[in-house]
Chains A and B, each alone.
Chain A
Amino acid sequence: GDSVTQMEGPVTLSEEAFLTINCTYTATGYPSLFWYVQYPGEGLQLLLKATKADDKGSNKGFEATYRKETTSFHLEKGSVQVSDSAVYFCALRLNNNDMRFGAGTRLTVKP
């Protein structure tokens, strides 16, 4: 069935390091893809999205490109900050509005 697989965490980086969190998906149709971020004690916040192949979503220095040929939507940031420490979820949304989330990747950025 339709699903999302993202790299297991936790991921620990030093401030200003480069970040990549891998995400691949399986879907029968043409899903929209999302990255959400969850800070401690809070709900999910939309970080970025892409709705069709080759679209690039970007926000707050984070980027992800919808790659249909590799069914991937990897999250990247060139220089992470301590404030980026959170749990990141990759998700896909089918046309019937069913949304599937990855397991989440916990990122810790140390000063």
Chain B
Amino acid sequence: KAGVTQTPRYLIKTRGQQVTLSCSPISGHRSVSWYQQTPGQGLQFLFEYFSETQRNKGNFPGRFSGRQFSNSRSEMNVSTLELGDSALYLCASSYTGTGQAEQYFGPGTRLTVT
């Protein structure tokens, strides 16, 4: 079974631009979560989608948004990029989306904002 895939793997943008990251979950998984990983803040939860609905949201500004499609693929968008948005963005999928379900992580998208 194929794992979680994220595209692109690396991205360089300039301040003020916007960016869209994509995540394809494991086949059959309906829950997709997004995380931001930085050396200073560690791993921080952005949001979670389940069956095309945002179910949970972390403490990030409205510049960070996402969506999920009917095939469970998810996209994350960051508008008006800031230098501090440089990070590794990780996507994780799980089957049921319950607290006990295992999350499987993709390799991440490394975003650099200059």
Query: Are B99 and A95 within 8 A (Cβ)?
Result: yes
Q: Which residues in B have their C-beta under 8 angstroms from that of A41?
A: 107
Tell me whether A32 and B100 are in contact in the complex, defined as CB-CB below 8 angstroms, given that A43-B106, A43-B108 are known contacts. Answer: yes
Whether a CB of chain A sits under 8 angstroms from the CB of B31 is yes
Query: Are A99 and B102 within 8 A (Cβ)?
Result: no
Tell me whether A46 and B42 are in contact in the complex, defined as CB-CB below 8 angstroms, given that A95-B98, A96-B56 are known contacts. Answer: no
**In the bound complex, what is the Cα–Cα distance between A45 and B92 (angstroms)?**
10
**In the bound complex, what is the Cα–Cα distance between A97 and B49 (angstroms)?**
10
How many chain-B residues does the 8 Å CB contact rule pick out?
26
Query: Are A94 and B43 within 8 A (Cβ)?
Result: no
Residue of B31, B92, B97, B99 contacting most chain A CB atoms (<10 Å)? B99
**A residues near B, CB below 8 A?**
31-32, 34, 36, 41-46, 49, 51, 89, 93-104
Q: Which residues in A have their C-beta under 8 angstroms from that of B55?
A: 96-97
Hey, what's the 0/1 contact readout for B58-70 against A, CB within 8 Å counting as 1?
1000000000000
